[in-house]
Amino acid sequence: MQRKIAVVACVTAMVGVGLGAFGSHILEAKIGEDSLQTFQTGIQYHFIHALAMLIAAVAMGVWGESRRLVWAAWLFFAGIVMFSGSLYLLSTTGMRIFGPVTPLGGAAFIAGWIVLATAVGRRAGER
């Protein structure tokens, strides 16, 4: 599972680069400043949590796989899809229907960080 999560994290980061370039070079002229800022917020959280997934995968290599590390990684991924994805859709379509999904993604991010902290804390305490 460690390698799978690492690969998904890398692909997720690559998609973030592509979306960031799309936002900077194509969207900038087509959507307003407020929508562009919303899109860029999605990019920022996308990257942070793609790296968090990679951190969880590396932690699996250091301390061994655990359900908590796997859960943390997938919660980060779910957060990227829901939080960043909803911001991408909201900013490019203007459809407010995607707005309620954003806090669910934020909750997934927070849960991922909590689970990662408990996994790392538990491993550090076992030494």
Residue 86 lies in a domain: yes
pLDDT(17) > 70? yes
Average of per-residue pLDDT values in the chain: 92
Residue 116 lies in a domain: yes
Task: Determine the structural domain holding residue 50 and report its residue range.
Answer: 2-121
Which residues are within 8 A (CB) of 16 and not within 5 positions of it... i.e. 6 or more apart?
43, 46, 47, 50
Residue 127 lies in a domain: no
Residue 24 lies in a domain: yes
Residue 18 lies in a domain: yes
CA distance 116 to 36: 31
Number of domains composing the chain: 1
**DSSP alpha helices (H): ranges in 1-127?**
2-25, 33-63, 67-79, 85-93, 101-125
Whole-model pTM: value is: 0.92
pLDDT tens readout for residues 42-83:
999 999 999 999 999 999 999 888 999 999 999 999 999 999
Residue 126 lies in a domain: no
